[in-house]
Structure 1
């Protein structure tokens, strides 16, 4: 049996507006394994929300095949389930959204209970399930509060509890942290990660921020203009992006662009001495535990002025980068660069010193 819980194969979604045909999604194939936290990243209009609405047929595709948990939902140009079967299948797929979609006139408890309206459980069993769900998301003490009495993060926790009411196998998060401040975003992401581990929940994250994917996802797909342009493990994508747009997302997520703007304003960089280079170093895994900068000083007498350094842990693997001025004799500089590359460090010279400085 395949470990894929979601298989989207050659998905097209075409909208007809007046006399125009708009391809929102074009020939996209994605396989998501059970227990994955899978990020789909793209700017507005990339087609990511449309693609994800295909998973539970809130958006019927124009072509392709959709398989969820071994059941073909759509194929050969038609929905393959009856209306009743589709309703039942949709219980396996919970959804949370940017603006929470809570009912203002209901308390937190009532909002969660609403999802159990058609459940065969007794009233007492429903009440106990709602209590446990609010406890699971850390809101047991807010059960009788109305949405207006809750913060944005608390509202999203209620929405998550409601999405979990029917014991789904999959949770879709459609820009669910976009309306939240950075601290609350981290708390909600930590909650999603916890639910993924505790419940074995497969989570599909739609976002325009690679930072969110970096924080909790294990795989990522990048979309642009309705097409899938890159896909792989978060470690692969961050270590070796193949596409310019992916690189753009990553430099924003790691903060290197912002760092470079400040670095380029420094006097030492503007007037880089002739015996120096400004270099960007990237390294992964065991290399992060090695004193490579110290080694090149000892071996080649190359001094290092570190202007920026950062280490992330992606999928339990350390990934680091550094912007550094390396200074020394020309032959030693060449030898040191070769040594760093042989040690597994990706090195890019950003600027060479000039004798005119």
Structure 2
């Protein structure tokens, strides 16, 4: 059974500025298990970065309870650790950021070594550890390079190595791929996934991109205006999003909105024949194993013209989406769609009389 490593209960963060009161986080409860890659997604100002800074008390909440790896570090309205205990607890939590935060006058190796300043290791032990960490992130040959001599992806790898210097159990990624191009982003996400598997590292990803959540996370929380509006496994959230904001995020991540704009511009859709329907199928898990389209014609004499199709793996489960024109006699169309629904495929009629 998995163990909870981060417990945030009823977290409030309120700021007072002159005559204004800002409720940045309102009554948020999140439980993260060891080994999770947990995404917290929302637009700017949603409160996600403020919430995550609560995990290591870089932001002290106004109210709530925080438990990190079995230790209660905040309860009610008070930090329960003294300064030395808090420093020790923070060493269990690494952080990486959008802009890398490397020191320009230090080499890659020196940037990583800086995090070991208070580690108690000997000079030789520090050197060996830095070499091991740079090797772990694929930068063994760049140890003596300065940040100005590194690409954005390489800088982020140095930042990841530095964040891992004190053997943290938790890694917080605050928009860490936002400044990177798509190819480099995929490489950094693959590295984080590898570290999660190899080191058993629990990763908390803050992002405004559901695509990143889709690529790497196993659980996701959606925030809006300081509140948690939806939370669950990536599979649950992507296949059955409840809140309008979540639905918008997912449409952008899957590309279906963009595809539908083009589909509706096609002549065959503009002038849809009377015996035809424009439909959208969504399916997950074992439903993707069935030859649904083939069976429609064989059993019901309903032909299918596929206009868009996409299948991907979310948290080890195949998930698919398809837009197609189905043609046949009305009774056969009805029977065919009933059979498709029975096979655990979600059906939406986009155009046509049914």
TM-score bracket for the superposition, by shorter chain length: over 0.9
Provide the secondary structure at the position in 1 that maps to 2:26: strand
2:41 corresponds in structure 1 to 41
CA distance in 1, matches of 2:63, 2:324: 51
Aligned to 1:263: 263
Q: In the TM superposition, what whole-angstrom CA distance separates every residue of 1:327-354 from its partner, at most 9, and x where no partner exists?
A: 1111111111101000111000011169
* Equivalent position of 1:20 in the other structure: 20
Distance, in Å, in 2 between the alignment partners of 1:266 and 1:198 is 48
> Equivalents in 2 of 1:289, 1:69: separation in Å?
40
Tell me if the contact between 1:273 and 1:353 (Cα under 8 Å) persists in the aligned partners.
Answer: no
For residues 59-91 of structure 1, what are the alpha-carbon distances to aligned partners after superposition, in whole Å with 9 as ceiling and x for unaligned? 000010010001111102100000111001000
Is 173-182 or 68-77 further displaced after alignment?
68-77
Q: Tell me the alpha carbon deviations over residues 185-210 of structure 1, each in whole angstroms, 9 at most, x when there is no partner.
A: 00000000000000000000000001
Residue deviations 1:282-326 (CA, integer Å, cap 9, x gap): 001111111101101111111101000000101111000000000
Q: Does 2:207 correspond to 1:207?
A: yes
Contact conserved, 1:272 with 1:353, CA < 8 A, in 2? no
Distance in 1 of aligned mates of 2:122 and 2:321: 56
Q: Is the 8 A contact 2:196 2:202 kept in 1?
A: yes
What TM-score results when the alignment is normalised by the length of structure 2?
Answer: 0.99
| 2:10 partner SS | strand
Does 2:331 correspond to 1:331?
A: yes
Matched residue SS, 1:106: coil
Q: CA deviation at 1:17?
A: 1.2
Distance 1:289 1:276 in 2: 26
1:182 aligned partner: 182
Q: Secondary structure at the match of 1:46?
A: coil
Matches within 5 A, 1:219-238: 219-238=219-238
Where does 1:147-186 land on structure 2 (aligned, <5 Å)?
A: 147-186=147-186
What is aligned with 2:197?
197
Residue 51 in 1 paired to residue 51 in 2?
A: yes
Structure 1 regions of 5+ residues with no counterpart?
none
Name the structure 1 match of 2:313: 313
Q: Give 3-state SS (helix, strand or coil) of 1:58's partner.
A: coil
Aligned to 2:66: 66
- Write out the 4+ residue segments of structure 1 that deviate beyond 2 Å after TM superposition: none
- Indicate conservation of the 8 Å contact 2:2/2:34, yes or no: no
Give the aligned partner of residue 140 of structure 1.
Answer: 140
Task: Give the secondary-structure state (helix, strand or coil) at the position aligned to 2:106.
Answer: coil
Q: Deviations over 1:136-193 (max 9, x none)?
A: 0000000000000000000000000000000000000000000000000000000000
Tell me, yes or no, if the aligned pair for 1:94 and 1:164 is still in contact at 8 Å. yes
User: What do you get for the CA RMSD once the two structures are aligned?
Assistant: 1.0
Partners of 2:76 and 2:316 lie apart in 1 by 41
> C-alpha distance in 2, partners of 1:252/1:143?
39
**Displacement of 1:2:** 7.4
Unaligned runs of 5+ in 2: none
Contact 1:98 1:174 in 2 (8 A): yes
Distance 1:353 1:304 in 2: 16
Superposition TM-score, scaled by structure 1 size = 0.98
Counterpart CA distance in 2 for 1:162 and 1:72 is 26
CA distance in structure 2 between the partners assigned to 1:110 and 1:116 by the alignment: 10
Return the alpha-carbon distance in structure 2 between the equivalents of residues 240 and 2 of structure 1: 25
Number of residue pairs aligned between Structure 1 and Structure 2: 354
Instruction: Give deviations 1:29-56, integer Å, cap 9, x for gaps.
Output: 0000000000000000000000000000
Q: Deviations over 1:247-302 (max 9, x none)?
A: 11111101101111111111111111111111110001111111101101111111
